[in-house]
Amino acid sequence: MVGSSRSEQTHRHAAYGLLVRTELALPELGCEAGADAEHLARTRLLRSTPEKLADAFSGDGTQRASLSSAEGPVAVTDGRHGDLLLSSDALGEAVVAADGSAVLCAPRDEGSPLWRRFLLDTVLGTAAIRAGLTGLHAAAVSTPHGAVAIAAPSGGGKTTLAAELIGRGAELVTDDLLFLVPSLDAVLAYPGPPVMSLDREQQALAGDGEIVGELTDGLWVKMGRAVRGPVPLALIVWLERGASHPELRHEPAGPDVLLGCALDAGPSEDRQARRLEVLSQVAAQVPVARLSGPAGCSPAEYASAIGSLLEATTSGS
């Protein structure tokens, strides 16, 4: 990986279970990490140029996959040494080390909120996976009962529901990628960057949130109500909207829900085995529910149903 200038100030942020050290100013990552983040896996985030990034990448240009993002497709290319190239024609490129310990990025426009969301979501999320963490494609909020993870098909309303719960007093854990670490006593949900992608109607639910950028699909808002450290996970909800039945329903769900929203661990057999082990632990320790309702069911109704689920699942603990 290519180094950077020693004259720049090094910032330390915690996100996705990583301790990110960087010379880039990334106010969207929130406050500087404290001593309690020293145990986290470490990632060095470096600025580069397209030419230096190409020299640092060990790949032969063979594309492995294509990811979808709000800003368009992202090409994923494997390197010979296990590193990974993430390339967006619109936004720029980044190389993630095989073990997630370093990220080299070459943005088209470093100040663009579209690039910065790509960097803090797709790129850092990939680094967390490469560092050995297991994640879900889910939003999550923290409540007095613990964290609630909300998973849904693409466009299924997980951010809308998370914003509704924050408007009722919850705190943001993460908007899109949730990384989990099981322990003997609990499954810990690690916070992502304290930002949400909201439309203008949802912005009212953000309370004292600060708009940090305009996006193609709405506003990028830095939330005032966001946790800074890991939170025990109390409930996982798979959200289904547009059901054929006329009323809102919830029912217990199995581990297949977790497999359906789990982030890809990549081609490594060891990493895939570790992902299955962690998901099995999560399913054994955390209630999983399926919440479905008709197309006209409001976010407020879903939020009330989640409140009832939380009360029911935590009343005996």
Residues 133-161 pLDDT 10s: 999 999 999 999 999 999 998 778 899 99
**Domain end point (choices 131, 153, 180):** 131
Given a contact cutoff of 8 angstroms between Cβ atoms, the answer to whether 10 and 22 are in contact is yes
Average pLDDT over residues 295-310: 93
- Asked if the structure places residue 181 within a domain, the reply is yes
**73 plus 185 within the same structural domain:** no
**151 plus 258 within the same structural domain:** yes
**45 plus 89 within the same structural domain:** yes
What's the Cα-to-Cα distance from 312 to each of 131, 149, 232, 289, 309, rounded to whole Å?
A: 35, 16, 17, 12, 5
**152 plus 52 within the same structural domain:** no
Question: Which pLDDT belongs to residue 313?
Answer: 85
**118 plus 148 within the same structural domain:** no
**230 plus 274 within the same structural domain:** yes
**71 plus 187 within the same structural domain:** no
Split at pLDDT 50, 70, 90, the class of 273 is: very high
Question: Which pLDDT belongs to residue 64?
Answer: 78
Average pLDDT over residues 269-291: 94
**Domain end point (choices 106, 131, 156):** 131
pLDDT digits (tens, 9 = 90+) for 106-143: 999 999 999 999 999 999 999 999 999 999 999 999 99
- Asked if the structure places residue 2 within a domain, the reply is no
User: String of b and e for 257-273 (b: at least 16 CB within 10 Å)?
Assistant: bbeebbbebbeeeeeee
Q: Among residues 50, 54, 55, 33, which one has the least CA distance to residue 42?
A: 33
Average pLDDT over residues 257-273: 91
Question: Which pLDDT belongs to residue 317?
Answer: 52
Q: Which residues contact 287 (CB under 8 A, 6 or more apart)?
A: 234, 235, 236, 252, 309, 313
CATH number of the domain to which 261 belongs: 3.40.50.300
Question: Which pLDDT belongs to residue 216?
Answer: 82
- Asked if the structure places residue 77 within a domain, the reply is yes
For residue 103, what are the β-bridge partners? 45, 96
CA distance 59 to 129: 19
Which has more confidence, 180 or 70? 180
Average pLDDT over residues 274-302: 94
Question: Which pLDDT belongs to residue 316?
Answer: 60
3-state DSSP assignment of residue 149: strand
Average pLDDT over residues 63-79: 82
Place of tokens 């470093």: 110
For residue 189, what are the β-bridge partners? 180, 231
Question: Which pLDDT belongs to residue 242?
Answer: 85
> What domain range includes position 78?
11-131
**208 plus 190 within the same structural domain:** yes
Split at pLDDT 50, 70, 90, the class of 84 is: very high
**139 plus 125 within the same structural domain:** no
Task: Compute the residue count for the chain.
Answer: 317
Split at pLDDT 50, 70, 90, the class of 1 is: very low
- Asked if the structure places residue 3 within a domain, the reply is no
Average pLDDT over residues 36-57: 95
How many structural domains is the chain composed of?
2
> Number of C-alpha atoms within 13 angstroms, CB side, residue 261?
30
Average pLDDT over residues 79-84: 93
Estimate the crossing angle of helix 299-314 against helix 158-167, to 10 degrees: 70
- Asked if the structure places residue 290 within a domain, the reply is yes
**188 plus 201 within the same structural domain:** yes
- Asked if the structure places residue 6 within a domain, the reply is no
270 has a pLDDT exceeding 50: yes
**262 plus 158 within the same structural domain:** yes
Ramachandran region, residue 122 (left: φ > 0; alpha: ψ -120 to 50; beta: rest): alpha
Contacts by 52-55, CB closer than 8 A, 24 or more apart: 52/2, 52/104, 52/106, 53/2, 53/93, 53/94, 53/95, 53/104, 53/105, 53/106, 55/2
**116 plus 176 within the same structural domain:** no
**Domain end point (choices 69, 103, 131):** 131
25 has a pLDDT exceeding 80: yes
- Asked if the structure places residue 146 within a domain, the reply is yes
- Asked if the structure places residue 5 within a domain, the reply is no
